[in-house]
Structure 1
């Protein structure tokens, strides 16, 4: 009996190393597997933008408002953005994003502050769906964060189309994806939106805005992309529309210099203007009030990589925009020359200096439709 017991104990000790090694291999495999697919994954983001503004035109303040009488604020420091964001990847296919701009507390925060609040599920490269509050794809600027654009801020047309529900932060759903059309890569976005801005309790009516964007990669070498946008919908039983086209390119001139160019055109119903007018002061058709405009923005980048200074950029955006070109037309031409110093990588630190010069066909006293010249120094940090 004792001999049999000793044999059993010896047999166990003989096999024990094999069990130990096998368990170790299982643990290592589990650990390695967890290292690859461990969820949730968190990515924190932040952006700080502060500016000094100097108005150089008589009787026009730093916000572009003309004053016939009274004192005018012609110099001011301003916090443009103080954003904090969190992107959470819940699984390989599911992500949730939130973005707030704390600088919006400086004015009435109602319908402000919260910017991104959406969930996205990616089935594959051909199809993904996003729902919540986000920036729908309807042009170049909607796909680029404001902290890496080549100018001080987005264009006039971006904000005006945002007021009409096509761009900026909107509530709705969107399907996106990419595929190849022969040898041409194509990406698409199809969106359905409430169309009345961010942080709204509900849609203002039963009408919705439907939009589509297609981007064709025409040249991989020079990164030439052609974008086409179209949209239609109803606002308080009025038919509305929007359309646009844009092209981007990026040319590497040599090891130090690169040159990129953006050109964009948009046109659409300005139903925001239409419904802001008294019923007796407007026509019966909202499409009598149409906005249209275009901008051209060349940018020259010189890589320096001297100590902490990464690059020097020179840009000058020219924009022509009319909020109602069919009735009471008043074209606004805006020139925005700017020089930018980049510190670190991907605009981690950035100092920008330049001008915003507005010229209107007709100056309207005591409004923002008045010629002005604004000097701007802007500093930003991002993570």
Structure 2
């Protein structure tokens, strides 16, 4: 039997119980201590990120694009995200999640707006199945909502790997869970994805991308975790791959001071770039087009708890990323120092201020591959 067909059959048998049990579970509720829990349960969520941008780069606009004519917009107010979401628990094991970003309507909304749209069935801590459009686990950032990250936005590598079907919002199915090896907990995720981005009518070829992530706890006291990511697949009969490794840690220095650190490395095929080039302008082998990047994100947090001010945070992410290091290398180094004021618990309100400095090995006029100095103030409110 064809290996690819066998994998698909196994996945169908894994997902089938999700829909079978969903039909039975949503009509009954488990009893706990004599009290029945009523389903369905609804939880509404919302997020707004409004910001002010000012570019100090020569002839570079607020979006990072260089204009040799000198006609540029170097200061602007902007709404980065306006999200509305609904989490519905149909039973104690079945949930449906929907998330849209209304700020995407300010530009061409095609392939945008709808972010999460998936169902999840949890058998136990060892196994849960997810199907639909979701963020597959393939690194640190994929498991953290953008409203609680320690910087203004996700890294450059996150978005580039998203264009290539490994991160961000993708359509497919996933199995995840956790178990113990001795006294050490291990979590895992295995995903099968179309690999051609979100909100697509169908896969654009018969190739699929298979991704996995494993996280090992190295120290419970300092919350040190090691993450390993790997993926293989096909795009238009071309073999593609991605891999990565990351470390997170969280040190409590005093009762009020904590220091956490994220380090993440990724490398993989840049098939998105390869297929965007004319056939006569590229090499025959897609493996010649590869991207790689690494970033360090240290964050110092001081708990204030003075009136409405909850905490003060200082962070500075350093990232080095190259989207085509084999054929036409042009390393982009990005420094993002930021100060953040938190109001309320769990970033209910947040004011962030800082800079984003971009430095390229080679400046390319009239493109986004150009040195830039950007100042940002961002207001965030969530519910």
In structure 2, relative to structure 1, the CA distance for the partners of 1:366 and 1:187 (3 Å cut) is same
Gap change, CA 1:380 and 1:35, over 3 Å in 2:
farther
Distance in 2 (CA, whole Å) between partners of 1:95 and 1:308 is 34
1:107 equivalent to 2:107? Answer yes
Q: Which residue of 1 aligns with 2:188?
A: 188
Displaced runs of 4 or more, over 3 A = 30-36
Q: Aligned pair 1:366/2:366, yes or no?
A: yes
Identify the residue that residue 128 of structure 2 maps to in structure 1.
Answer: 128
Aligned to 1:269: 269
Q: Deviations over 1:261-288 (max 9, x none)?
A: 0000000000000000000011111110
Distance 2:93 2:310 in 1: 35
Q: Is 2:284 the counterpart of 1:284?
A: yes
Residue 322 of structure 1: aligned partner: 322
Quick check: 1:309 aligned with 2:274?
Answer: no
Aligned pairs, how many?
354
Residue 42 of structure 1 corresponds to 42
Query: How many angstroms apart in 1 are the aligned matches of 2:34 and 2:198?
Result: 38
- Residue 57 of structure 1 and its aligned partner are, at CA, apart by 1.0
CA distance in 2, matches of 1:209, 1:314: 37
RMSD between superposed Cα atoms in Å: 1.2
CA distance in 1, matches of 2:36, 2:300: 40
Distance 1:102 1:128 in 2: 30
Question: Distance between the aligned counterparts of 1:314 and 1:123, measured in 2?
Answer: 40
> CA offsets, 1:294-347, max 9 Å, x none?
000000000000000000000000000000000110000000000000000000
Alpha-carbon distance in 2 for matches of 1:223, 1:56? 39
Secondary structure at the residue paired with 1:272?
A: helix
Distance 1:176 1:31 in 2: 26
CA separation in 2, counterparts of 1:131 and 1:356?
36
* Structure number, greater radius of gyration: 1
Q: Counterpart of 1:89?
A: 89
How far the C-alpha of 1:32 sits from its partner, in A, is 8.1
1:1-383 maps to which residues of 2 (within 5 A)?
A: 35-383=35-383
3-state secondary structure, aligned to 1:321: strand
- For 2:7, the equivalent position in structure 1 comes to none
2:31–2:37: 8 Å Cα contact kept in structure 1?
Answer: no
Map of 2:16 onto structure 1: none
Q: Distance in 1 between matches of 2:34 and 2:132?
A: 30
Q: Which runs of 5 or more structure 1 residues have no equivalent in the other structure? A: 1-29
Deviation, 1:73, is 0.1
3-state DSSP class of the match of 1:246? strand
- Paired residue secondary structure (1:274): helix
Residues 98-124 of structure 1: CA deviation (Å, up to 9, x unaligned): 000000000011111000000000011
Within 2, Cα distance between the matches of 1:148 and 1:32? 33
Equivalent-residue separation in structure 2 for 1:280 and 1:291 (angstroms):
21
1:175-218 deviation digits (Å, cap 9, x = unpaired): 00000012210000000000011100000100000001000011
- Describe the SS at the equivalent of 1:133: strand
Q: TM-score, normalised by structure 1?
A: 0.91
Once the two structures are TM-superposed, the CA of residue 71 in structure 1 deviates from its matched residue by 1.1
Specify the SS of the correspondent of 1:297.
strand
**SS of alignment partner, residue 51 of structure 2:** strand
SS of the aligned residue for 1:249 comes to: strand
Q: Distance in 1 between matches of 2:69 and 2:76?
A: 20
Instruction: Could you tell me which runs of 5 or more consecutive residues in structure 2 were left unpaired when the two chains were aligned.
Output: 1-29
